[in-house]
Structure 1
């Protein structure tokens, strides 16, 4: 890719994307420019990847063909006001923050821009992320293809209409937290049954990873895969029945509803 990629903010998600891009050889280290609030962060990423670094946000923004706003939602307005007169006219602006709408980006920059709203998740740190993208009408199909290529370096990427974006945190953005709680509960159950703690975590995590791969790679419905594990009169169906009695599915769906409502509230502030 013959583009300079800029990052304003260089936290964990930005570093995951930078690492994925370079591992995939999508661009050279010299084509990545990152700014951060502290010299220590910049020294760390410079020593790790030999990318270009800037203490000034304007410095990173002015050189980028694709610019990531890898910052918290509540500082978008302040940072955009700082850089809006310095970005290139053809630059693609990407936000990775929950609740930041495309219209908010356009209004904050005060003019038509090429804007992409995204929602990656933390498994991107190990190359198994799920990122959802939504672009405004100024973004061409070729532009969007380039952005998808970037996010494909850290896992899978899907393009959806913006009206669906508020639902994404509940199902893929925040759901790793639910999965970690499930893995922890499985491990606690293993410890209760006498297994060592470290082996319990390994067994639980690998089982969840394997189950997820079965869904993705077989194309079978999760219910069908569940039925294949449940032999008649066996132990698994007893466990499934107890999960149903305790409201397992209802609890998950209720949690997702709460997450969705919170995301909508955040989006309402940034439209």
Structure 2
């Protein structure tokens, strides 16, 4: 790993750094800027130095912008002069390459827009990456390796596709947890206590996701294999179709992408 500076030491930065360290990367190669004492304590426990401002005597080849989108302008204006020719990686939803370059004053900056998701916290994330055209092969390898340390990576060829990644895998865990909430509610309605309901639902989702990831069958084929006409699964799915559950999920993804585009446009 090149010398890497994270601006922002929240959960996602913590997950990425943890993934890198788990792969044997040297903690001395990494620094974090975050004024929070809590973030400092967590990172110090990993052997990572955390400071409230730009660290002295540390020249990063890679800078990961891991702050909330609404903080990005202020952060880039404060630290833009220090960025030099560093590879800039942003994990903020709705902040465009053009905005990053404008706010930092680095008009020719090499930028990677990334949309990770929260399963990175357990090493099972999915990160979408978009590279500006001035990123070379080494830049691509470095950014890809950083995010492969905590999951899998999909590379897209146009910046607008990052908004689509945001709508599916970025926001997707929220949709999954929503479905899990609903199924757990159904379990409780059928007489299970909360602990039993949570176990039934968590293991069912984990098992189904693992099966899907290891199978060459499509999602629809996997569904068909557990659905006998006139059987219990069939009855459950018919009730969901009657309530347009599938349509609601598709519309939810579209709404998430529309919001990502609004954020990118400053709305």
TM-score normalised by the chain length of structure 2: 0.94
Note the C-alpha offset of 1:152. 0.7
Partners of 2:57 and 2:154 in 1: CA distance: 26
Matches within 5 A, 1:115-126: 115-126=111-122
2:9 partner SS: coil
Q: For the Cα contact (< 8 Å) 1:35–1:60, is it kept in 2?
A: no
Displaced runs of 4 or more, over 3 A: none
Cα RMSD after superposing both structures: 1.6
The alignment covers a number of residue pairs equal to 265
The answer on 1:78 being equivalent to 2:89 is no
Q: Which moved more, 1:206-215 or 1:171-180?
A: 206-215
Question: Which of these residues, 137, 140, 145, is aligned with residue 141 of structure 1?
Answer: 137
* 1:256 aligned partner: 253
Deviation per CA, 1:119-157: give whole Å up to 9, x if none: 001111111111100010111122111111110111111
Q: For the Cα contact (< 8 Å) 1:34–1:60, is it kept in 2?
A: no
TM-score normalised by the chain length of structure 1: 0.93
* 1:12 aligned partner: 11
Could you say if the C-alpha distance between residues 40 and 196 of structure 1 is closer, same or farther in structure 2, counting changes exceeding 3 Å? closer
* 1:220 aligned partner: 217
* 1:188 aligned partner: 185
Partners of 1:235 and 1:87 in 2: CA distance: 59
Q: For the Cα contact (< 8 Å) 2:43–2:49, is it kept in 1?
A: no
Partners of 1:30 and 1:198 in 2: CA distance: 42
Could you say if the C-alpha distance between residues 125 and 61 of structure 1 is closer, same or farther in structure 2, counting changes exceeding 3 Å? farther
* 2:92 aligned partner: 97
Partners of 1:145 and 1:180 in 2: CA distance: 32
The answer on 1:22 being equivalent to 2:21 is yes
Partners of 2:246 and 2:122 in 1: CA distance: 28
Partners of 1:52 and 1:133 in 2: CA distance: 27
Could you say if the C-alpha distance between residues 221 and 61 of structure 1 is closer, same or farther in structure 2, counting changes exceeding 3 Å? farther
Q: For the Cα contact (< 8 Å) 1:66–1:92, is it kept in 2?
A: yes
Q: For the Cα contact (< 8 Å) 1:62–1:86, is it kept in 2?
A: no
1:85 partner SS: helix
